[in-house]
Amino acid sequence: MSQQIVSSQPLVEVKDLSVTFSKKRLFKPTRVVRAVNGVSFEIAQGETLGLVGESGSGKSTIGRALLKLVPMESGSVRFDNTELTTISRAEMRRMRRRMQMVFQDPYSSLDPSATVAASISEPFRVHEGLSAKQAWSRVQELLEVVGLRPSHANRYPYEFSGGQRQRVAIARALALTPHLIVCDEAVSALDVSTQNQVINLLEDLRDEFDLSYLFIAHDLAIVRHIAHRVAVMYLGHIVESGPAERTYQRPAHPYTQALLSAIPIPNPERSNRAGRILLRGDLPDPANPPSGCPFQTRCPYAMDVCREVMPAMTAVDGGGQVACHLQTAGPELNGRSLMDADVEVVR
């Protein structure tokens, strides 16, 4: 697991960010979904924040909101000390050169009808006006940086494996020497061995170029190796955040505990006593979220207060914060773990 980065001035500072989508429907009331609800976090230079949650939890919307690719309803997003919510479109276009995205599907950023050289060189041909010769030599360098051969430059995306295509997408993201890369499920579609290779590459690039990552994934196992800190999302809220080491060893939120129980844990003591915990019920409709704690409809600990009062973020021993009434409910409830609760365990 990566060591924690300590920085006095974060590269990214997000405070109380909310994003709401509304969809007009014929003969029905407009569907309004608050995809992100009062989310706050920071990312230091050279740091990786793993952002984890189920599909529909709002994590990808946060990634897009950082680059102002979706409209923010309220809150503040600062990047390298510049408030992004108030800058002009032209300033934001300039800022985006330093903030790039890598998606799950490389075809989102690679034109299938263009050669790899054309796709990778497009950002610096557009933004830096390099000559064809300069652009060609930069493409060759970038291909080598991501572990591909310069001779791959004239091939088309369909000629590559999934892992190689993701390397090409990473080379394109690096073209303008960014400071932040938002990796949105960037390795989720790859097999485990290719995932590990791409994650190792991303770690090497982070160390070499002092990059920061917002690493978005639906699975805690995927971010385990690369993340310095982890934030867990549920229904538009960050319900727990903290140093990766503490979060994996001592998850404080019942939802984090359930997610962790679903992955193999290389700790014989834990894995012997813990089976897979199946949470009952489905993710609630984000257009009609439950009152109080967003997790109360599935939480085996839910108390009366959970159905009425949204838990505030409180500090956790070992670092980080959790939004759960168990943290403040008193000694008789503190220290309980999901293993003690009435949940279905599959071994």
CB of 265 to ligand SF4, least distance (A): 21
CB of 54 to ligand SF4, least distance (A): 15
Q: Which of 49, 201, 211, 326 binds ligand SF4 (CB under 6 A)?
A: 326
Interface with ligand SF4 includes 224 (CB under 6 A)? no
Q: Which of 41, 160, 213, 301 binds ligand SF4 (CB under 6 A)?
A: 301
Where in 97-136 is the site for ligand SF4 (CB under 6 A)?
none
Question: CB under 6 A: which stretch of 23-31, 177-185, 267-275, 301-309 binds ligand SF4?
Answer: 301-309
Complex with ligand SF4: residue 189 or 305, whichever CB lies closer:
305
Where in 249-268 is the site for ligand SF4 (CB under 6 A)?
253-254
Q: Which of 57, 104, 195, 296 binds ligand SF4 (CB under 6 A)?
A: 296
Q: Which of 68, 228, 229, 325 binds ligand SF4 (CB under 6 A)?
A: 325
Interface with ligand SF4 includes 216 (CB under 6 A)? no
Q: Which of 103, 160, 215, 295 binds ligand SF4 (CB under 6 A)?
A: 295
Complex with ligand SF4: residue 104 or 296, whichever CB lies closer:
296
Q: Tell me how far apart the alpha carbons of residues 315 and 207 are, in angstroms, rounded to a whole number.
A: 30
Complex with ligand SF4: residue 141 or 285, whichever CB lies closer:
285
Query: Which of 309, 237, 185 is CA-nearest to residue 35?
Result: 237
CB of 340 to ligand SF4, least distance (A): 12
Name the residues that contact ligand SF4, by CB under 6 A: 253-254, 293, 295-296, 299, 301-303, 306, 311, 324-326
